[in-house]
Amino acid sequence: MEKLAIFDVDYTLTKRETLRQLFYFIIKKKPQNIIYLPRAIFSGLFFVLGIYDEKNTKESFLKFIDGLDEKDMRNLVKEFYEEKLSKILYEDGINMIRKLKKQGCKIYLISASPEFYLNELYAIEEVDKIIGSKFLVQEGKHRSQMHGNNCKGEEKVKRLKEELKKDNIEVDFENSYMFSDSLSDLPLLNLVGKPYLINYKKNHDSIEILKWK
């Protein structure tokens, strides 16, 4: 049986929210995309007011990718990783990935953020699998419509088990690890025998808190 080391991404491995950083990066590269800023602001506002759920919020926010060619997206997210994403990773998080990989764990990154750019984190050679929210690609063009459910909470457990079944991997969950900054990941934290909260600002009775820089 395999042991897993599962990592959330935003605010667990990264110092900032990755989707927002992608938007800033795209505006810097193509200033004409500033026209999507009001939509981004209203998406967040509608979420706070309860008008949108997280799926609706992301689909509205990501309007700036609608119609983007697959090749152009590949080039864009590669630049995003090299120029921004790779520079906001917690050094302690990367060291933990390397440590647990050497101990024989398979490294899984599971996030609610979009897979189309999270896949660049395969550049971290120890990473075995990345699972994120999926967005449609139709006739070679990216769309802001989510394919399936937002990869959060219980959905993360569902997606993980689907991938394990597909890859024919049996897991020793009691001796596996999970790292997250948020209790929204309780379904995954409760799944493993070695859960950790990262930079969590409150105390927790049963989950150890690690401070990463």
* 4-7/106-114 β-pairing: parallel
Query: How far apart are alpha carbons 108 and 197 in whole angstroms?
Result: 16
Given a cut of 50, the residues of the chain with pLDDT beneath it are none
Q: The pTM is what?
A: 0.92
Give me the pLDDT at residue 168, please: 95
Q: Taking the CB of residue 9, how many other CB atoms lie within 10 A of it? A: 23
Give me the pLDDT at residue 27, please: 86
Run of H or E including 5: strand 4-7
Per domain, the residue ranges of the chain are 4-210
| 31: phi then psi, degrees, rounded to nearest 5 | -55, -20
Give me the pLDDT at residue 99, please: 98
Give me the pLDDT at residue 42, please: 63
- Return the CATH number of the domain spanning residue range 4-210: 3.40.50.1000
| 178: phi then psi, degrees, rounded to nearest 5 | -140, 135
